[in-house]
Structures are given as C-alpha cells and as structure tokens.
Structure 1
C-alpha cells in the first residue's frame, strides 16, 4: 500500500478548474469506484483505493464534527455540500467542494454514496480555515467519543447566529453558482 511520506513540509496541490473528482462508496463508506482525476490527485493507484474506507485521505485539519454532520445529513436521505481538506499519498493536501448524495436502487434501497468534488475557490477555503481550526480545538478538549458532536453543535450554533445552515454557509462562499454555471 502507498505510504504517507512526510519528509518535507506538505504543500497544497490543486484540482484544475475544469476537473471533477468522482467516487462511489458502499453504504459503509468503502470506495467502490474512483475516477482517474481522483487517483492522480490523491496519488493512489486504483488497487489501493477500491474497498478501502474513503477516510483514507482524511486530513487531520478536518474536524470530525464536519463528518458527523455529513453522515447525519446523508442518513436523513439528503445531499451534503462541504468544503473538505484531504491528504495525498505523499502527504501533500488539497481542498475540494464535496457534493455527496445517497445512491438508491430501483427499490429505493440505499446502495451507497456518490460524490462529486470540484475546486472550492480561495474564498471558501479562507473562510473555513478558522472555523475548522476552532472545531479541532474544541474536539481536542473533549474525549474522543464526544468530540465530533461537540464541534458539530458549536458549528451549527455559530452558523444559526448568522442565519445559516452549514449547507447555506458553504454555498454562500462559492465563486460559482452550481445551478446555473455562472460566475457569482
């Protein structure tokens, strides 16, 4: 398996503006499909991705509370939008706007999840960095079991003060309107 090599300080690598990462997972979050863009950016060959948990690329700067919110949203049958920082196999990192949706079969049975990721834009990244840092700080002051809920609750309370849900907050940060394809 590809080893995470951290011999040098990590650097940011970027998804090109016209590139999309596409992955599919089973209902437990294990990768069942990964497109070539994902494999190239994450620096993993297909045989090291298929069957592995998607959190293989989770960056430690990402608060677990964001993932708790994602799973709660998906388990409620709704799509999730989030700005996410991921690791590459060599220890570099990249940011994406993730859109994750439940994938149902013809009998409306959950088969897994379908995710499309694109570049989030610098404005979105700069806006979430201090929010995520605060969430990680909160998580470090709680036991492992309580940490994700504590940071998620803080996030939702802070966003509610601003009149936002997490989804509306994320979508308000985008440089591109996802529904029309026009620059905001």
Structure 2
C-alpha cells in the first residue's frame, strides 16, 4: 500500500518582525538575523557563506529571480512576493524588499534583503500563486524567456514595481 505524501507545512511568522539578510555581490550570505535563522530552520553556520538561493523554493519561477537580479544589479531596489523553503521542507511566503549596498564611490558591494509576512493572503492565493504557476509551466517548455513573457502579459502596461504596489497597497509608487 502506497503511503500518502504529506502536504507541505506553511511556516508563519509575526507581522511585526523582519527576516533580514545581507549578501556579497554574488548573493553569498554574509549576515542573517535571528528571525531569518529561526524561520528558515538553518543554523547561522549553515547560512553564512552559502548562496542565498539555499532557501529558494522549487515552486518559484526563475523569471522572478532574473527580474530581481536585473533590478538590483542596476542599483535599484526590488519589491516582490517570494516563496522560500525551510531546511525541513516546509515553506514560507514573504514580501521581499531587496536593496543594493554601495561603497563611498557608488559601487555595489552587496545586497540587503528585508522580508516581512505577506500583507494580504487573498492576493497571494488569487493572483500571485496562479501567476507563478503559469510562469513555471511556461518555463518548463520555453525557459526563462517564456516565464518573462507570461509575466509581461500579466503586467499589461505596468512595470513590475507598479503591479506589486498596486496589488499590495492599492496604488502605484509615488
């Protein structure tokens, strides 16, 4: 008799805390706050020195990370919804804000990510998850470019930032 596959468990964390991490320019973790360590299920030693994608969930479209990297490498900040995977296989959704860190000459020397709980689970369930599922499906047959095409169709004439802020806060960036 085949055993049923357990449903992945969602981890949640309080709305008044932030998961904070810092990386070098390649995305290797150089700092993780206690909340990030606790929610991810890794020890500090297991996180420091590892690529940040150690917590990447396989449900996430690669096109979202391409957009993230293109944005922050250009010196701009990125906001977006990200599904992460903890060490034990459970998952947690975050509303991520990733910013470049600059030296005194204006060169990017790393990145900081501040993640908070998703402010509206209905947006996640009704818009973000179905969009990411369509993007992943497109990527399976057509690569990142196909995922980007699905995203661009969903955005219409909005930028990704406008789309995210309209969904999350009901208005565009000011």
Q: Which of the two has greater helix per residue?
A: 2
Q: Does TM, scored on the shorter chain, surpass 0.5? A: yes
Structure 2: give runs of 5+ residues left out of the alignment.
none
CA distance in 2, matches of 1:93, 1:175: 24
Cα offsets for 1:55-109 (capped at 9, x unmatched) = 0111111000000011111121110001000001100000000000110011212
**TM-score relative to the length of structure 1:** 0.85
Structure 1: give runs of 5+ residues left out of the alignment.
1-6, 180-184
Partner of 1:24: 22
Aligned pairs, number: 166
CA distance in 1, matches of 2:145, 2:70: 11
Partner of 2:42: 44
Q: State yes or no: 1:172 paired with 2:166.
A: yes
Q: State yes or no: 1:112 paired with 2:106.
A: no
- Counterparts of 1:52-71 in structure 2 under 5 Å? 52-71=50-69
* 3-state SS of paired residue (1:173): helix
**TM-score relative to the length of structure 2:** 0.89
- Counterparts of 1:115-154 in structure 2 under 5 Å? 115-120=113-118, 121-126=120-125, 127-142=127-142, 147-154=143-150
Q: Return structure 1 stretches of 4+ with deviation > 6 angstroms.
A: none
Residues 123 and 173, structure 1, Cα contact 8 Å, conserved in 2: no
